[in-house]
Chains A and B, each alone.
Chain A
Amino acid sequence: MYRYDAYDQALVDQRVAQFRDQTQRYLAGQLPEEEYRALRLRNGLYLQRFAPMLRIAIPYGLLSSAQLRMLAHIARTYDKGYGHFTTRQNMQFNWPELARVPDILADLATVEMHAIQTSGNCIRNITSDPLAGVARDELVDPRPYCELTRQWASFHPEFNWLPRKFKIAFSAAQSDRAAIRVHDIGVQIVRNAAGELGYEVYVGGGLGRTPIIGVKTADFVPEADLLSYLEAVLRVYNLLGRRDNIYKARIKILVKETGPEKFIEMVEQEWARIRNGELKLAGDEIQRMRAHFTVPEYASLPEEDAGYRAHLEQDSAFASWTRRNLHAHRQSGYAVVFVSLKANGVAPGDVTDAQMDALAELADRYCFGELRATHDQNLVLADVAQGDLYPLWQALDALGLATPNIGLLTDLICCPGLDFCSLANAGSIGVAQDIFDRFENLDHQHDIGPIKLKMSGCMNGCGHHTVGHIGVLGVDKKGEEWYQVTLGGSAENDASLGDRTGPSFARDAIADAVQTIVEVYLELRQNEDETFLHAYRRVGMAPFKTRLYPVKAAA
């Protein structure tokens, strides 16, 4: 993985000192509240419902075991003993004390981590495919490009005060696991007919209040021109993005109101001017960045390990975990392991300090000391030899991290909602718990098959509800929590936004509604291979609507 050199370290250390100074000035009454707010947001610090919340960047989701141990240490020392993985491949702590945040940041800097630009109207953490470097359907490893972009975006002097937050995602695989079409900029790494690498670029996708799929602004930006193209887009946005209305300030609105053609023209004009300047990736720059993301020293293993086969036959719990929580690896004899952070009784994405320490240990033992965070709020151990799967599973099981539900109904994603977030209309975590209780039976979940349930506590859509196969959105109705349901969303290659079922459901009816939707699907699917999303796309909303809103019998 990428390791800091002296320059990276110096820049992060400088930032910690700067934020310490800003915090001290604020606490001494020398920095106005409003300005400190803007500055602390750019260092990941929110003040919310009960306490400050600190969001720590995990660039493109990649973590070393040493970094995870540091997160465990922070959870233990400065928080209540746990942390929360978010849908942005970040980690959040919900209970730090404001005056100690500079110390937390200093601790993080010792393991090459930070909280820079994890909130505020600036370029946020770069996200990518959690299977980067190991997926079979990948063209090249996208992470070197993510890291080049991360550095370009970090402390960018021109783009720290944008109209609104700005999110960039990369994918280099056939199936899009980074949801690039619902990002402010989504980059798909491609190869052209001449065999050269480059980028297909989507701009103006987004969730939240006005969900929309991004517009393709370029079919092929040459590999060396990544940063100049991004800079051109950001410059146009910084100048022209709306600042009069927070709900219209994202770049998606600019693209829509300007018209994609005109927008593309403006970007291209600026890009043409700067693309051969200092931003061009020159010499062996890309090559040197690639060298940071080396392939681990895999053992040469047979396609199938005999011991593994035996365990599969003897232990049905293990076998069912392997069916759900493994993903094919490109290296013979290795597997990608998903660590489920969706166990019954635990808020999705939450991990304790002890679990983090134990996971770091397992990563060292079985996975070259690395882990990844996914935007579905799970973790991935990407390089596990088949022969190690059984002991790994036993260890994970003992930690409560082996729920065999990856991709199934209870692998739902969910924002912090009313439990933590000051913007929330509704408690998403409580609904998640209801759904867990109702669908805990794994056989039943397996029968239902792959389905993505996504929940947000308000229109901001941190839980990505609009691209859930089933989306649940908390709304406020005269001070009560209600839930609006959408069907048929997707954030993958076939990206689409969900359709509303109709009137929203009360708190005590929402789990029933989800159950009804699942029942209707099970009745009308053509066979077990027809997934929920496919079935919905075939039959449409009508049958679901009929059952969700039965017409009251006439008196």
Chain B
Amino acid sequence: MSGSILMRVGLQPDPYLHLADDAAIPASNTDILVSLARWQTDSAALRARQGRVGVRLDNHVDVVPIAADLARADLICLVFPGFADGRAYSQARLLRDRFGYRGQLRATGAAVVRDQIVALHRCGFDAYDLRADQDPVACLAQLDALDLAYQPAQDALESVRRLRRRAAVQLQD
């Protein structure tokens, strides 16, 4: 285990062991998080285990050709190497929306902060490896305050367009 992860319900211990590429695969029932390279080369060994397996993708990875394979992962961890590098937002939306990925989608890196958590949530992330300087309470408060958005995205929030459409139909009835 390597620390805590913020989930919608609050800070949770991270059950996943973050496995370096050259580290041996541990006992069968430990949950592990591996790199994409490891996920691909050790595919058979990882599959044979009982513990859950998560995979971490760099943000320049094209998820389209590997999406079917990724669907087996219990967790996909997407990376934000810089505060202003938003590629993983689109990776997340493709995984959720285009490929229907249902497992945990975790955000890690420099952008996992209170000023971006609402956008992360809206794009389909449900687990946040908060940057060390972040206050989890303040981050959750941002999510609690979210009640309105123009765009349809990956969360359950109804878009303003839809709310207006419904109001217009009700008016006609």
Residue numbers of A with Cβ under 8 A of B are 5, 7-8, 10-11, 14, 22, 31, 34-35, 38-39, 121, 151-152, 154-162, 235, 238-239, 243, 273-274, 277-279, 282-285, 288
Contacts and interface: CB of A to CB of B under 8 A. Distances in A.
B148 A10 contact: yes
B98 A161 contact: no
Nearest to A288: B168
B90 A5 contact: no
Given A157-B119, A158-B123, A283-B169, A238 B87 contact: yes
A35 B114 CA distance: 12
Given A157-B123, A159-B86, 19 more contacts: A5-B164, A7-B163, A7-B164, A8-B160, A22-B115, A34-B83, A151-B150, A151-B161, A152-B151, A155-B151, A156-B150, A157-B151, A158-B122, A158-B153, A161-B84, A161-B85, A282-B165, A283-B165, A285-B165
Contacts, number: 91
B8 interface: no
Contact of B83 (A35, A273, A274): A35
Contacts of B87: 238-239, 243
B118 interface: yes
A116 to B, nearest CB: 11
B91 to A, nearest CB: 7
A35 B115 contact: yes
B56 interface: no
Q: Which of B120, B159, B169 has the most CB of A within 10 A?
A: B159
Given A39-B115, A283-B165, A157 B149 contact: yes
A24 to B, nearest CB: 13
A38 B90 CA distance: 19
A155 B160 CA distance: 12
Contacts of B123: 157-158
Q: Which of A31, A34, A35, A273 has the most CB of B within 10 A?
A: A35
Interface string B69-96: 0000000000000011111011101100
Contacts of B90: 158, 235, 238-239
A153 to B, nearest CB: 8
Given A235-B93, A288-B168, A243 B85 contact: yes
Given A35-B115, A273-B98, A278 B85 contact: no
A35 B120 CA distance: 17
B111 A152 contact: no
B47 interface: no
B104 to A, nearest CB: 19
A285 B94 CA distance: 27
Contacts of B113: 35
Given A7-B160, A11-B148, A278-B152, A160 B119 contact: yes
A238 B92 CA distance: 12
Q: Which of A10, A157, A243, A283 has the most CB of B within 10 A?
A: A157
Q: Which of B113, B122, B160 has the most CB of A within 10 A?
A: B160
Across the A-B interface, give the 10 residue pairs with the lowest CB-CB distance, nearest first: A161-B86, A278-B152, A157-B122, A157-B119, A158-B89, A238-B90, A7-B160, A151-B150, A239-B90, A38-B84
Contacts of B111: 161
A11 B145 CA distance: 12
A159 B161 CA distance: 19
A22 B142 CA distance: 13
Nearest to B150: A151
Contacts of B98: 273
A157 B118 contact: yes
A161 B150 contact: no
Contact of A162 (B83, B86, B118): B86
Contacts of B148: 7, 10-11, 14
Given A161-B89, A288-B164, A154 B115 contact: no
Given A39-B115, A283-B168, A11 B83 contact: no
B58 to A, nearest CB: 12
A278 B161 CA distance: 9
A84 to B, nearest CB: 27
Given A273-B98, A282-B165, A238 B89 contact: yes
A158 B86 contact: yes
B161 A285 contact: yes
A278 B169 contact: no
B86 A160 contact: yes
Nearest to A30: B133
A154 to B, nearest CB: 6
Contacts of B97: 274
Q: Which of B151, B153, B159 has the most CB of A within 10 A?
A: B151
A279 B93 CA distance: 14
Contacts of A162: 86
Contact of A278 (B62, B94, B162, B168): B162
A156 B153 CA distance: 9
12 contacts: A11-B148, A31-B115, A38-B83, A157-B119, A157-B122, A158-B86, A158-B153, A160-B86, A161-B89, A235-B90, A239-B62, A278-B162
Contacts of A278: 152, 159, 162
A151 B160 contact: yes
Contacts of A5: 164
Nearest to B120: A157
A34 to B, nearest CB: 7
Contact of B150 (A39, A121, A152, A158): A152
Contacts of B93: 158, 235
Contacts of A34: 83
A235 B145 CA distance: 27
A161 B97 CA distance: 20
B88 to A, nearest CB: 9
A239 B57 CA distance: 13
